């Protein structure tokens, strides 16, 4: 993530704030900050006149540089050339401000600009036109009754609503023609490029903002990412606003396909997730056949089917058999799972619980539909998959001759069955195919069939076996060369 170092250049319009600051009387502390779920960091750009808008007091230098010699002459990296001998104070002292997205998806807090002072993202005043319309795009209530001016719509990845300059009352619309986006997990061209084709190709990181807000009284847009500013495009100013807080999304399971179940043991599951914002340095997974609720306790962790403990990795998936678990997965069982991640400071996120296997999951819900009670589970397959196998005779296949193909497949057609059984009758269904379009089958659905090949060619024969639970596996032969029969020679005496 980018970290922004800048200098506050105070001027007349901000003197009120500076006076309070110098006397240590200015303590703008957001009383709702403790409930923040996603803290915003970084800076936006508001044109050459107004400069940067900082979203957290940690994002700019405000002190402890009087001992830097070059700052006295105005040639140092902390001051522009025309500024000399400025008074500084430590970060966030007197300017303890931040902007964040709360647990309801509504924006809260204040940003800071050197010219305009504080810019609020929540309050009780009524924004200009369009205020009533944008509320329908918020997941939860967002209006003056709960001091909300703007919200984040996660399904659309968009910010809706307004921000307001405290000193002047100027409004900044966040969902005007600029459309302000917040990227999560990975770029989604279907959502983002429909309104701004540049987004899909610029390589946003999870948690990055993209787009700009539109001021009601000044011509300058408030750009949230230098990649969105076509007049700059990060060439001279590298800035962005982003979500610092590590958050998790898109939990999936079991991510275990028919092909995987046919190719090996059918007991397996890959737990997948994405990092919506922040940086993952480690993860911790809990799997259980008991639902512990939204947040497992210490007792729950110790009694769980599997508790990985902290694993140092930035990977976003885990294949269960690779985890050292005290027990193995069992067939026909519903499992619950939870995950929490660790950031660069070794701070853990909350526990996130998987919200249920559906037909939209990556395996198409191949295991057996979701739990009948619609609980937050994934399910293992009921039993191992069929094992298709066949032979043919004669081995050397001739054009125009009938060749017998005999299946010797086995299946586990009873849940929990320990030993495979032969595939007969209603327990198995067969589907024979070949790449030779002119071949003639005696049947394509019988266990044993005869095939007559009409032309000399190279072909393959495949058999798909489906058991009583609709689990299907296939076998394909190696390349078979179909030959003409050799002619019959007779010796004739010369006359």
Can you give the CATH number for the domain in which 424 is found? Answer: 2.60.40.1080
- State the pLDDT at residue 353: 87
Q: How far apart are CA 378 and CA 368, in angstroms?
A: 9
Q: Please indicate, yes or no, if residue 4 is contained in any of the structural domains.
A: no
Q: Please indicate, yes or no, if residue 3 is contained in any of the structural domains.
A: no
Q: Please indicate, yes or no, if residue 384 is contained in any of the structural domains.
A: no
Q: What backbone phi and psi angles, to 5 degrees, belong to 354?
A: -65, 135
Q: Please indicate, yes or no, if residue 168 is contained in any of the structural domains.
A: yes
CATH of the domain at 330: 2.60.40.10
- Average pLDDT for 62-80: 49
- State the pLDDT at residue 175: 83
Q: Please indicate, yes or no, if residue 495 is contained in any of the structural domains.
A: no
Domain count, the chain: 3
425-446 pLDDT tens trace:
677 889 999 999 999 999 888 8
- Rank 38-42, 196-200, 366-370, 487-491 by mean pLDDT and report only the highest: 38-42
Look at residue 266 and tell me whether its pLDDT is greater than 90: no
Cβ atoms of residues 224 and 182 within 8 Å = no
- State the pLDDT at residue 87: 52
- Rank 112-126, 166-180, 266-280, 306-320 by mean pLDDT and report only the highest: 112-126
Q: Do 358 and 395 lie in a common domain?
A: no
- Average pLDDT for 459-486: 88
Q: Do 322 and 435 lie in a common domain?
A: no
Confidence of residue 364 (pLDDT cuts 50, 70, 90): very low
- State the pLDDT at residue 29: 29
Q: Do 320 and 308 lie in a common domain?
A: yes
Out of 199, 214, 243, pick the residue that ends a domain: 243
Q: Do 60 and 196 lie in a common domain?
A: yes
Cross-strand bridge partners of residue 459: 480
Cβ atoms of residues 349 and 338 within 8 Å = no
Q: Do 258 and 234 lie in a common domain?
A: no
303-345 pLDDT tens trace:
888 888 899 998 887 777 555 677 788 888 888 889 999 999 9
- Average pLDDT for 109-121: 94
- Name the more confident of 462 and 256: 462
Q: Do 38 and 183 lie in a common domain?
A: yes
Look at residue 177 and tell me whether its pLDDT is greater than 80: no
Out of 204, 228, 243, pick the residue that ends a domain: 243
Q: Which structural domain range is residue 276 located in? A: 247-379
Q: Do 305 and 366 lie in a common domain?
A: yes
Q: Please indicate, yes or no, if residue 426 is contained in any of the structural domains.
A: yes
Q: Do 398 and 336 lie in a common domain?
A: no
Q: Please indicate, yes or no, if residue 210 is contained in any of the structural domains.
A: yes
- State the pLDDT at residue 183: 79
Q: Please indicate, yes or no, if residue 178 is contained in any of the structural domains.
A: yes
Confidence of residue 19 (pLDDT cuts 50, 70, 90): very low
Look at residue 247 and tell me whether its pLDDT is greater than 80: yes
Q: Do 323 and 204 lie in a common domain?
A: no
Q: Do 368 and 474 lie in a common domain?
A: no
Q: Do 205 and 268 lie in a common domain?
A: no
- State the pLDDT at residue 491: 67
Look at residue 32 and tell me whether its pLDDT is greater than 80: no
Q: Do 352 and 394 lie in a common domain?
A: no
444-463 pLDDT tens trace:
888 899 999 998 889 999 99
């Amino acid at each position: 993530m980018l970290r922004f170092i800048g200098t506050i250049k105070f001027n007349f319009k901000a003197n009120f704030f500076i006076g309070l600051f110098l006397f240590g009387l200015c303590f703008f502390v957001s009383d709702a900050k403790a409930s923040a779920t996603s803290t915003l960091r970084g800076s936006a750009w508001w044109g050459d006149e107004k400069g940067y808008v900082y979203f957290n007091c940690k994002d700019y230098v405000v002190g402890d540089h009087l001992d830097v010699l070059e700052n006295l002459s105005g040639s140092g990296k902390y001051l522009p050339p025309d500024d000399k001998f400025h008074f500084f104070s430590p970060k966030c002292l007197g300017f303890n401000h931040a902007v964040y997205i709360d647990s309801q998806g509504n924006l809260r807090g204040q940003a800071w600009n050197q010219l305009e002072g504080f810019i609020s993202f929540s309050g009780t005043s009524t924004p200009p036109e369009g205020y009533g319309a944008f509320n329908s795009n918020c997941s939860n209530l967002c209006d003056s009754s709960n001091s909300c001016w703007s919200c984040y719509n996660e399904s659309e990845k968009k910010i809706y609503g307004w921000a307001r300059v405290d000193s002047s009352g100027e409004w900044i619309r966040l969902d005007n023609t600029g459309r302000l986006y917040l990227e999560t997990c990975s770029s989604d061209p279907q959502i983002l490029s429909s309104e701004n084709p540049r987004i899909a190709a610029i390589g946003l990181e999870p948690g990055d903002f993209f787009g700009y807000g539109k001021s009601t009284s000044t011509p300058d847009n408030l750009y949230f990412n230098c990649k969105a500013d076509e007049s700059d495009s990060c060439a001279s100013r590298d800035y962005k606003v982003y979500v610092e807080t590590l958050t998790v999304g898109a939990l999936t399971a079991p991510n275990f396909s028919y092909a995987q179940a046919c190719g090996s043991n059918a007991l397996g599951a890959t737990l997948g997730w994405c990092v919506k914002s922040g940086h993952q340095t480690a993860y911790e997974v809990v799997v259980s056949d008991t639902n512990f609720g939204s947040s497992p306790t210490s007792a729950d962790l110790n009694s769980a089917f599997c508790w990985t403990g902290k694993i140092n990795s930035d990977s976003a998936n885990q294949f269960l058999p690779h985890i050292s678990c005290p027990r193995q997965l069992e067939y026909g069982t519903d499992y619950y799972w939870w995950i929490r991640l660790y950031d660069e400071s070794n701070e853990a996120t909350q526990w996130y619980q998987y919200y249920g296997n559906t037909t939209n999951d990556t395996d198409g819900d191949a295991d057996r539909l979701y739990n009948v009670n619609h609980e937050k589970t994934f399910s293992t397959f009921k039993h191992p998959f069929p094992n298709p196998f066949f032979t043919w005779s004669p081995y050397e296949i001739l054009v125009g001759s009938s060749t017998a193909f005999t299946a010797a497949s086995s299946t586990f057609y009873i849940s929990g069955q320990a030993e495979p059984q032969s595939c007969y009758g209603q327990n198995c269904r067969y589907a024979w195919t070949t790449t030779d379009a002119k071949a003639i089958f005696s049947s394509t659905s019988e266990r044993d069939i005869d095939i007559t090949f009409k032309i000399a060619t190279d072909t393959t024969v495949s058999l798909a076996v489906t058991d009583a639970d609709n689990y299907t596996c296939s076998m394909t032969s190696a390349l078979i060369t179909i030959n003409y029969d050799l002619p019959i020679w007779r010796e004739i005496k010369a006359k």
